[in-house]
Structure 1
Amino acid sequence: MHNQGGKLYTTIITGYVLCDMLMVLNGLKPSLAIPNEVESLVVARKTTLSSSEPSYSIQVVNALLTQMDKLKSSPNVIILTTSNITAVIDSHLHKTFSSSSDCVTGFRLSTAQIGETTTSPYDSSLGDQQKFYHFPKRESFPPNFLFGAGTSALQVEGAASEGGRGPGIWDDRINRSFIDGDKFPTMIQHYNRYKEDVQHLKYLGINSYRMSISWSRVLPDGTIKGGVNLEGVDFYNHLINELLANGITPFVTILHFDYPLAIQKNLHGFLNSSIVNYYKDYCELLFKTYGDRVKHWTTVNEPQIVGLFTYMHGYDNDDPEPCQATKLCKQAYTVVHNYILCHATAVKLYRENFQATQGGEIGLVIGSESFEPYSSKLEDVAAADRLTDFLIGWILDPVVYGDYPKIMRELVGNRLPNFTEDEKKMVAGSIDFIGINYYTSHFAKHETNKTNITLSDNYDALARSEDFNAEGNYLGYLDKRSHTFVYSEGLYNILQHIKKKYQNPKIYITENGIPSFNITNPLKDIHRIKYLATHLNYTKAAIDNGVRVGGYFVWAAFDTFEFRAGFSQNWGIIHVDFKNNLKRCPTIAGKWYKRFLNT
């Protein structure tokens, strides 16, 4: 804890998780010893603090518990905790309370609204705490708002060789070189346990489930001519019906990274524009088969992430162009161009032949993050704008306005494909909504030397994303349980950016979450509560400021296969125990989400 200029800097506002912790005010020493894991805890008046403020320290655990409700309800009191809250809970709660205690089960974990600064880990100013004091209730969100959780077929279905499914491009990659690649075909087993899984989703209280359909499961070689796999078609019929029977709306992604290996081998995948015709046939099959019940479609998931990682930087690509050396990439732009054409073609098909009778909506999902200038220099301010255009504008400029951002045309030149006039007309306005996946954000630093641009940045943007700014600070806080920088205000910034630049479209937050790989017990994901609560807070703040957000989906519903990380990261709010017959169990964060959705 720091005291700078009379302001108190601390971590989060919370409730019953304080349980067996002692509290001090503004540097005053408590009369009882604080465990080493605890830096400091306070109960403070909602005013600027000074050393003369009286202490509200509670000297014993029982007194703290009995006073908690009174303190929480008082308009003059805020309860603040510190960065090591997870360690404290892990090491102390079970010493003090029985297994039936609310503190242990997590049912009464209540996190109020948080505002972060860019100072140091787990810090936020008291002024921000005051500004975002009340945590919104579910009922304060718009009517028909979708609260959900999501997965993708590739990452949870398992049964890779069952039910007539053909191999996908990721089967081939995973089996050859990935952690847990040998387990991939059989783990999670959503394909065989979907009825049980729907009951777990129902337990959470969500009203929507974001899922994807495996192209390889319904069309094993990717083509209608090659034959429709009726077992695969029936599986998704059963899953969709099961969801609806339990009051859960399916939110369906048509292509979530994976597609038939035969398409890749025969056409070179999305490098070949003829894939648009095969994708259209696949979409038509889905609209005809499931469109009477599916009312929310997303065509593709994060196409620009595929372009950047797989083609520009060559990850998981057996035959990348040599642009990692030359820094003059072309394939990434070709692939994304064909993704956009596939998307627009599917939207045109749906609007002309299905939407009027089926009454659904269709959009696409992009990866997103907020870029803040590395310094106050104009070149860094411009760098933040460029990285935004090269990540978000790469997709949204075409699907809203019909062409790529001007800065991309200038910096990429003839390596950036052109839309024909007819394609521009088809692409422009080809969204009923935009889905955004948001996890974290970065600073943007001007960089003219492309050899210094690495990892996930676009060489042509002439900018580099940084964890730390020129003053050595970082955005938000560092979550030690996931080694992730958490900047929930970045979600708000992106929502506002899209509202202002892209005609205030309807938006769904289609992925938002954090892993739990650096904890002993994956069920005690208390750090995830803070993550979800702060992002829900900023979602509500964006809505209150005019952004048309229609839903929020936690990533992930269940633990998932996370590509090069295998099954190690524990993303799910429903944990899958690989050592106990794939038993499903809601985590503490899952129970917190349930409580939020049911109160």
Structure 2
Amino acid sequence: MRTAGRTPATRAISCVLLLLLAVASQGAAAAAITKGDFPQGFVFGTGSSAYQIEGAVAEDGRKPSIWDTFTHSGYSADGATADVTADQYHKYKEDVKLLSQMGVDAYRFSIAWPRLIPDGRGAVNPKGLEYYNNLINELLSHGIQPHVTIYHFDFPQALQDEYHGMLSRKFIDDYTAYADVCFKNFGDRVKYWSTVNEPNIEPIGGYDIGFFPPQRCSSPFGINCNNGNSTTEPYIVAHHLLLAHASAASLYKEKYQAKQGGKIGLTLLCWWHEPATQAPEDIAAAARMNDFHIGWFMHPLVHGDYPPVMRKNVGSRLPSFTAEELKRVLGSFDFVGFNHYGAAYVKADLSKLDQKLRDFMGDAAVKYDTMPFLNSKNQRGL
């Protein structure tokens, strides 16, 4: 997953690359791989997120997001905040020039909701409009296609304070209105929209374990908990994120797509889970974890409901769709993006299903054997 705890001195456009090139054999020269080895039309790009790269968190009308509150409370590994970070808000022309020199075809970035609509709803910030228009135009002037993520974790603190954020269905309407502002003002030039970034990790980090804001979780599952319910809230938040995606996608397709000619989808976190052993129970555990991790969103999008194993294990704690919601969710994408960071190896832990109180991992009935970043020294935050 992406982290916000990098030191402000870092001055590079990094974060998530749209493409990770792996050299198959040890010692093979990366220089042997060229663009010519890829199909015509293959898109090479880089990516970032607003909170991790823009800086200027209190300038030109921007108001706090839940990530500002989180990092200023001391929960990043080294006390870092994103107050300055790579300072793209002021240095976007330099960054775009660097992208051009790299020869990329596309740049995936996110719009900061509290910069564009500082209170989460209502008045649009003209300085926010100006910045994103300038960034988009600068990219296009260098032949770089903007790929825009509408929401990447930086939920407006004002709405979090008002109605507990994504736990409330009010979030869906406010998010859709925000997306409408994005489509209306930038859609004439933006042809690829991702509604939400990694909605299959934010509910776990923020509402089960507590290493993401707003740190809602409950004992014995979470860390840094101050309130919440780890057994129910992750599923509620994920449900609302899925409905918010579908609402924005429907709006775009009905109101803007024919005229603007763009495509809309969403981007999921993708750890691919493999069995730690070839024991039948571990093979089943890997398949089950992929259903919980990826199928949590993909199954409703493709089949109209959550995976059967989630319905079975989570039971009444897993929200249901109305007929109208199912109609809107099913097929509500032109593409799906996967942020793939590596493979994780799991073992079955069926004893978790006997526990009266279960969170996401308990419902999945697995335990991690090996996983990238699992040995991180940072257990307090990011």
TM-score by length of 2: 0.85
CA distance in 2, matches of 1:385, 1:327: 27
How far apart are residue 179 of structure 1 and its match? Answer: 4.1
Cα deviation for residue 343 of structure 1 reads: 0.1
Instruction: Say if 1:176 and 1:278 are closer, same or farther in 2 by CA, change over 3 A.
Output: same
In 2, Cα distance between the equivalents of 1:198 and 1:378? 51
**1:106-185 alignment runs, 5 A limit:** 113-114=23-24, 136-177=33-74, 178-179=76-77, 181=79, 183-185=81-83
| 2:189 equivalent to 1:293 | yes
RMSD: 2.9
Q: CA deviation at 1:451?
A: 10
Contact kept? 1:446, 1:464, Cα under 8 Å: yes
Hey, what's the Cα distance between the residues in 2 that align with 1:133 and 1:202? 21
Q: Is residue 136 of structure 2 the alignment partner of residue 240 of structure 1?
A: yes
Tell me the residue number matched to 1:199.
97
What is the number of residues matched between the two proteins?
Answer: 349
Q: Which of 222, 227, 248 does residue 346 from structure 1 map onto?
A: 248
Matched, 1:428 2:330: yes
Quote the Cα distance in structure 1 between the aligned partners of 2:68 and 2:31.
46
Matches of 2:220 and 2:296, distance apart in 1: 19
Give 1:263-282 correspondences, 5 Å limit: 263-282=159-178
Mapped to 2, the partners of 1:346 and 1:147 lie a distance apart of: 27
Q: Is the 8 A contact 1:112 1:135 kept in 2?
A: no
**Structure-2 separation of matches of 1:253 and 1:159:** 19
Offset of 1:464 from its aligned partner? 1.2
Offset from partner CA, 1:82-134 (integer Å, 9 cap, x none): xxxxxxxxxxxxxxxxxxxxxxxxxxxxx99415xxxxxxx79xxxx8xx999
Q: How does 1:11-410 map to 2 (within 5 A)?
A: 113-114=23-24, 136-177=33-74, 178-179=76-77, 181=79, 183-224=81-122, 227-316=123-212, 317-322=214-219, 324=221, 329-410=231-312
Which structure 1 residue ranges, 5 or more long, are not aligned? 1-110, 116-122, 469-477, 486-516, 518-562, 566-599
Describe the SS at the equivalent of 2:146: strand
Letter in 1 for 2:276: Y
Report how far residue 135 of structure 1 moved.
Answer: 5.2
Q: Distance in 1 between matches of 2:165 and 2:67?
A: 13
Quickly say closer, same or farther: Cα 1:424–1:228, change in 2 above 3 A: same
Distance 1:446 1:319, change over 3 A: closer
Tell me if structure 2 keeps the 8 A contact 1:327–1:459. Answer: no
Alpha-carbon contact 1:371-1:441 (below 8 Å) kept: yes
Tell me the CA shift for residue 466 of structure 1: 1.1
Query: For residues 265 and 334 of structure 1, what CA distance do their matches in structure 2 show?
Result: 18
> Does the 8 Å contact 1:400/1:431 carry over to 2?
no
3-state DSSP class of the match of 1:397?
A: helix
Conservation of the 8 A alpha-carbon contact between 1:333 and 1:415? yes
Assess if the C-alpha contact under 8 Å between 2:275 and 2:286 holds in 1. yes
Alpha carbons of 1:112 and 1:373: their partners in 2 closer, same or farther (altered >3 Å)?
closer
Structure 2 contact 236–318 (Cα < 8 Å) conserved: yes
Asked if structure 2 preserves the Cα contact closer than 8 Å seen for 1:312 and 1:331, the reply is yes
Q: Distance in 2 between matches of 1:305 and 1:197?
A: 28
The verdict on how the C-alpha distance between 1:397 and 1:169 changes in structure 2, with shifts beyond 3 A counting, is: same
Greater C-alpha radius of gyration? 1
**Structure 2 counterpart of 1:114, which letter?**
A
Name the TM-score, length of structure 1 as normaliser.
0.55
Give, in whole Å, the separation in 1 of the partners of 2:125 and 2:205: 31
Q: Kindly tell me: are residues 318 and 442 of structure 1, through their superposed partners in 2, closer, same or farther at Cα, counting changes over 3 Å?
A: closer
Give the counterpart of 1:464 among 363, 367, 371. Answer: 367
